[in-house]
Chains A and B, each alone.
Chain A
């Protein structure tokens, strides 16, 4: 069964600090991995999309890495801001069915002043 597991479940950091969120998956065959940011009460917003051949991709202060061999990804947030407080969701899509992806349960990040 395709699964996506994220850790930690929740995280609290101080403003200005860096943090790293983890995503492990068993989805096969692999097509791509996405990271989304979901603010409370809103829909997810895409941060990065990575394919098999990509090891790293950045979007401002967000940097995602992918190790397709170990089936692991991380999202690194640099110099955190209060507005980074949100849930971060890892999504992995298999290329066997274009319409379906497996969503992780998310990591809830709280940035405190």
Chain B
């Protein structure tokens, strides 16, 4: 099993450009999450999904969009990149919600810089 995979690993965007961060998991997990991690700070939840076709906002959703057409894939879309979106983005998945005792698995991250 590859676990949670993310592409690309690194990306530099110009202000106003758009891009999609890809996330795929092969563990048949229902729950998937997108976080951002700014230097020296804790992870902040952007969006999450409890299953195919269902998504919901997290703490910091502004400027982002998601979709969940399949169990495996949970792409994150940035429509108009801004310098404030410079961060490391992590995708994660779990069988059940985090209120349950089940492990959450993280991808390796995408480092995004907006200039």
A contacts, CB < 8 Å to B: 4, 31-32, 34, 41-46, 49, 51, 89, 93-95, 97-106
Contacts and interface: CB of A to CB of B under 8 A. Distances in A.
Contacts of A98: 31, 50, 96-100
A94 B42 contact: no
Given A89-B42, A104-B42, A105-B42, A41 B101 contact: no
Contacts of A93: 98-99
Interface stretch (B11-19, B64-72, B76-84, B103-111): B103-111
A103 B103 contact: no
Given A34-B104, A49-B101, A106-B42, 10 more contacts: A4-B42, A32-B98, A42-B108, A44-B106, A46-B103, A46-B104, A49-B103, A94-B99, A97-B99, A98-B50
A44 B105 CA distance: 8
8 contacts: A4-B42, A31-B99, A43-B109, A44-B106, A46-B105, A49-B102, A99-B31, A99-B45
B40 interface: yes
